[in-house]
Amino acid sequence: MKAIENSIAANINRADKIRQHIDGLGGDYQNTTPGQTVEDYTATITNLNGKITTLTQKRDDLKNNTADRKNFMKKPNFGLFELLLRLKAGIISQYKSKSAVAKKAVALIDKYRAQPTEEPPKTQDEDGNPVPLPKTKSEFQSGYDSKEGILRDIVDLIDNQDDYNPVHPDLSKENLHAALAQATQLNDDVFGDFSVVINLLIERNMLYTLLFYDTKGVKEYLKGRFGNEHPNYTLAVAQKVTKLDFVPKEDPRDN
């Protein structure tokens, strides 16, 4: 992923040198093709840089929220794993191990701890193509959504016990509800962040595609206007804005 990001950044830098060049030509540059005017070309570069900045921020959000979710919902001896172990002991202490309440609670807690999980997949491949958007949160969570559902069943079970008497304040009904709310929010955050990143990648790739084809158009204009030996053309053509693998074979605006 780092290689494609570096390639995009280098190409934008070269495109910006072309932008400076055609801006410096003043009245000698009269290209009116949409996307290839000085104003349009500048706007594409500006928008592309802004999209990349936002993408970097949202990737950080995804990384941080994914780590927070893993620590809270999955990490041994921490977060929900620790809380549910204590709840299991407290339920057995109050209701005794052979009671229906204790058996159901123990089964749910053991199921939660045994539920396998996977972290979110990479958002793009090595060529810069974004992965498909997940259709539903449940499909995307890879076990975390199941953990959330099991935790909800545990909280519902405790809620239905009018005589529930927690052995520690951390095991209160209120605190269990707060833990469920936190787990749900973390799942929502990771799913939301992932979706945002995918959409930003789609938008980034489209802007880069427009930049690539508009750069070709700018160079063709300069060649036709000044000739292929004139510095006004050769200075621009020396700046290579390459066709990256995610760029379609044809300008999408021509379809």
* pLDDT recorded at residue 141: 78
Cα–Cα distance for residue pair 224/232, rounded to 1 Å: 11
What is each CA distance from 27 to 179, 222, 227, 229, in whole angstroms? 65, 13, 17, 20
Residue 12 · residue 48 · CB < 8 Å: yes
What is the model's pLDDT at position 133?
86
Name the token pair of 174.
């209120």
CA dihedral 76→79→84→85, nearest 10 degrees, is 50
**Single-letter amino acid, residue 28:** D
* 66-71 mean pLDDT: 96
The pTM (predicted TM-score) of the whole model is 0.90
Average pLDDT of 216-237? Answer: 97
Per-residue buried b or exposed e for 157-177, using 16+ beta carbons within 10 Å of the residue's own CB: bbeeeeebebeeeebeeeebe
Tell me, what's the pLDDT at 139? 75
Among 16-25, 84-93, 131-140, where is mean pLDDT lowest?
Answer: 131-140
The pLDDT score that the predictor gives to residue 1 is 64
pLDDT digits (tens, 9 = 90+) for 103-120: 999 999 999 999 999 889
- Amino acid identity, residue 226? F
Q: Sorting pLDDT into bands at 50, 70 and 90, what band is 136?
A: confident
Query: What pLDDT, on a 0 to 100 scale, did the predictor assign at position 115?
Result: 92
Q: What is the pLDDT of residues 148-181, one digit of tens each?
A: 999 999 999 999 999 999 999 999 999 999 999 9
